[in-house]
Amino acid sequence: MRLLIYLMGYTLANVLAILERELRSDRHRRYLGLGRRFKINRRYQECVGPGDLPGHCKHPLFCAMNVVGSSKNPVEHLCVIEKTFVGVCCPDDILLSNIVGSRIIMDLPAGGEDYDEQQNFTMGCGIFIDEKPQQSSAKEWPWLASLYDPETSKPFCGGALITDRHILTAAHCTEGRTPSDMRVRLGEYDYARPDETRARNFEISEIKEHEEFELSTYFNDIAILTLTNATGFNTYIWPICLPPLNKNYVNETVIVAGWGQISYSGNTSNILRQVEIPVWEHERCADSFVQTINEKTICAAAYEGGRDSCKGDSGGPLLHQLPNGRWVIIGIVSWGIGCGQKGQPGIYTRVDSYIPWILTNTIAK
């Protein structure tokens, strides 16, 4: 009733114009979800969406389907947000609705803290569509990307899917390469069994290395790959969330995964492997190396040695699960001295130090 009163005297053209202003204003606010606890995908009051699907009122830009365009009578699915904005009734389970024109995720890359705790895990980044597998599989880490040589089909680096077209990786993985020198594989688990999963291969249209990347020191070791074609999302392929800013991970247990060498100077792995490791205090890490360890890095490995990333894991994500259940990429495998040596952890590019750069080279384009 309040919505009808609010819209009384407005024609459909007026309402659509209001929505368009909402879209434009929200585009300028898309970055705020990473700078503070602005909820990009916040759900407001319950409502009934197109197709009589249960949903919640949301800002139009942040609904994963075109509610107005898919409705015979768009006014029926409009709502008011906090007595200020015109929203749309966005179905909760777009992934399951099979409505023409719907998309699983519209606002990417997204921050892991943009979602409430225990929010229904049917949408958004950093989640498992099926229940989390009990053993390692492609479904366990659906955001893992493998970078491989198209001539040999052998992987040489890893990466992480952050939108339907962007892979976050290490700049040293792309140094000296052109887009035609590389391919990206998503949804892979076992390279020795090509028909095991729904893996998909993608060509690359652009490589964007950080402008201040230094090959001699690996400072600013971060790059973004743009896929020629956008990927769809399923149980094998799903985007990871970006991390909150300035969070302290010291002594937190994190996970690194990839197809790298099983041991130093050993063979690379055909199957996706993972290991749990703790994050080190920065001062303790810096004291372990002759090289400069700057504040834009994270150090992680087993204190006793033996558990670490290795050659071939470069560019892959260092993963952490937030209290709300979302997985975020807090680091990118960068470099180390050997693999698994006691007293010398692996060095990871700290992702939250580069979030403005990531946004500039993804959603700002």
Q: Which of 146, 123, 144, 102 is nearest to 41 (CA)?
A: 123
Q: Which of 314, 320, 334, 352 is catalytic?
A: 314
CB of 114 closer than 8 Å to CB of 40: yes
Beta bridge partners of 227: 204
Contact in structure between 147 and 182 (CB atoms under 8 Å): yes
To the query of whether residue 70 is one of the catalytic residues in this protein, the response is: no
CB 319 within 8 A of CB 256: yes
Nearest to 329 by CA among 214, 215, 242, 252: 242
Q: Which of 164, 221, 308, 352 is catalytic?
A: 221
Residue 136 among the catalytic residues: no
Catalytically annotated residue among 77, 166, 172, 210: 172
DSSP state, residue 219: B
The answer to whether residue 221 is catalytic is yes
What residues contact 8, with CB distance under 8 A and at least 6 apart? none
Q: How far apart are CA 302 and CA 33, in angstroms?
A: 33
Kindly list the catalytic residues.
Answer: 172, 221, 314
